[in-house]
Amino acid sequence: MLMATYIMLARFTQQGIQHIKDSPNRIDAGKQAFQSMGAELKEFYLVSGQYDIVTIFEAPDDETMAKVLLALGSKGNVHTETLRAFSEDAYVKMISELP
């Protein structure tokens, strides 16, 4: 099955930062939760700037992506913003199909 790629930008909530030492365990639990819903967390980055975390994940469709993010958000440790990402090959194909 072809999976769609998503980029998730996240900021720690007050709860998330208060329990920051638990975050490595939360990453592992998140990976398992993603898998249980048919998605896969591909990459995780701690970043500086406007966001605290950037992840790249794949899901079979937008509905699965939404379920994953709702489950993640319900834990109360991060606020997220998610972007649908297209590979360079997909971009080139889209452009080639323009009228």
Alpha-carbon torsion, ordered 39, 8, 72, 35, to 10 deg: 20
- Name the DSSP letter for residue 52: S
**pLDDT score, position 6:** 97
Residue 1 has pLDDT above 80, yes or no: no
* CATH code at position 73: 3.30.70.920
Q: Where is 14: in which H helix or E strand?
A: helix 14-18
**pLDDT score, position 2:** 85
Number of domains within the chain? 1
Which ranges constitute the DSSP H helices of 14-87? 14-18, 23-36, 62-73
**pLDDT score, position 92:** 97
Q: Residue 43 is part of which domain span?
A: 4-96
- pTM, two decimals, is 0.90
